[in-house]
Amino acid sequence: DPKQGNILSFFKQV
Amino acid sequence: MLELRLVQGSLLKKVLEAIKDLVTDANFDCSATGFSLQAMDSSHVALVALLLRSEGFEHYRCDRNISMGMNLNNMSKMLKCAGNDDIITIKGDDGSDTITFMFESPTQDKIADFEMKLMDIDSEHLGIPEAEYHAIVRMPSAEFSRICKDLSSIGDTVVISVTKEGVKFSTRGDIGAANIVLRQNTTVDKPEEATIIEMNEPVSLTFALRYMNSFTKATPLSSMVTISLSSELPVVVEYKIAEMGYVRFYLAPKIEE
């Protein structure tokens, strides 16, 4: 099954 | 000093209903631009971004940028006490650990004050880059809600694919499989019934239906929803809030290992 991605791997903290 | 008077108070009630199940606690930020929020769900799979622009308020006073931590369930409890036609004013004093919601009936014959305790929340603020999306689908929000609900009775995930044929929503589960295809349709009586598909490149992504269904709680805010897809990015599900701003949900895709 595909693995759930994480928002933090796409958008970085500012 | 903070004083935000929203004549269409029902908008704030609808915003809370749209986001309170996704996010438990969040900082509301108040600045000259408007009243905004950015928060992730506890598992960091989805992010919600809300903006209510200052121009959309009848009266908007915010002397300095301020961030106020609120428990959204408690805020929802208080806003449920406002009538749908009520004018809602949010009031806060510098250094106070509470915020006041004032509800005025349209005829001014009932005025209520609800004071809510604020909380300290450590939250990360994420930079969301401007992006070129491979495909943008604009469709009736009620139709999107129906599709998510229908598919979640069959499977746990939805594959959203955009090709020149249209947009396809697919799922698969123990009992079988389902595919729903929508084609572009602009020959409708009302603009809010149209389905408009802009495609730069074909795209296909897999998402957890549980989150999509949670996003559709924003359906009462807008007759249309915009779904922006790119293979390298979280999907954006946007509900515009008339004259005022938007609530945007970002959902990280499921990725093949």
Q: Is the pLDDT of residue B148 over 90?
A: yes
Binary contact (B126, A9; C-beta < 8 A): no
Which chain A residue lies closest to B253 (C-alpha atoms)? Answer: A5
Asked whether this complex has an ipTM greater than 0.90, the answer is yes
| Interatomic CA distance for residues B176 and B94, integer angstroms | 57
Closest residue of A to B249, CA-based? A7
Q: How far apart are CA B29 and CA B35, in angstroms?
A: 6
* Contact residues on chain B for A6, CB-CB shorter than 8 A: 44-45, 252
| pLDDT score, position B224 | 97
Q: Check CB contact of B45 with chain A, cutoff 8 Å.
A: yes
- State the Cα–Cα distance between residues B90 and B101, nearest whole angstrom: 5
3-state SS, residue B7 = coil
Indicate the residue of B45, B250, B254 with minimum beta-carbon distance to A2.
B254
Calculate the average pLDDT of chain B: 96
Per-residue pLDDT tens over the stretch B31-50: 999 999 999 999 999 999 99
Mutate to test the interface with A, among B29, B43, B123, B124 (most CBs of A within 10 A): B124
For range B8-33, the mean pLDDT: 97
Which has more confidence, A13 or A7? A7
* Three-class DSSP labels, B9-43: CHHHHHHHHHHCCCCCEEEEEECCCEEEEEEECCC
Q: How would residue B95 be classed by pLDDT, with cut points 50, 70 and 90? A: confident
- The dihedral over CA atoms of B200, B249, B158, B206, expressed in degrees to the nearest 10, equals 60
DSSP character string of B169-207: EEEEETTEEEEEEE--B--SSSGGG-BEEEESS-EEEEE
Exposed/middle/buried for B242, CB within 10 Å: 0-12, 13-18, 19+? exposed
Q: Is the pLDDT at B211 greater than 90, yes or no? A: yes
Q: Is B75 helix (H, G, I), strand (E, B) or coil?
A: helix
Taking the mean position of all CA atoms in its chain, how far away is CA B94? 28
Distance CA B93, CA B185 (A): 50
Cβ B54 vs Cβ B34: under 8 Å: yes
B4 touches A at CB < 8 Å? no
